[in-house]
Amino acid sequence: MVATVMVEKLGLKVEDHPDPYQLTWLKKGNVVKVKHRCLVQFSIGTRYSDEVWCEVVPMDACHILLGRPW
């Protein structure tokens, strides 16, 4: 997942999600509708880089979330 704010600030291209759905675990007590996605390129250190399709959602805890928080 990627924060809406990050997508806007970096000018990433957004497209409609092919299978929209709702999340209930991201924001306590609220339902978040996932309607968009974008392809995000990222790197960890100097040796690893990749790109991943991320759902675009409003988040204030982080900019990108790779996996579900446990």
- Residue spans of the domains in the chain: they are 2-57
Would you state the torsion angle of the CA atoms of residues 54, 22, 27, 37, taken in this order, to the nearest 10 degrees?
20
For 30, which DSSP code? -
pLDDT at 23: 83
pLDDT at 25: 67
**Number of residues written out for the chain:** 70
pLDDT at 27: 58
Q: What is the pLDDT along the chain (70 residues), one digit of tens a residue?
A: 999 999 999 999 999 999 999 887 665 667 888 999 999 999 999 999 999 999 999 887 788 888 765 5
User: Sign of the C-alpha dihedral, residues 1, 12, 7, 9?
Assistant: positive
Question: pTM of this prediction?
Answer: 0.79
Instruction: Quote the CA–CA distance of 25 and 30 in Å, as a whole number.
Output: 8
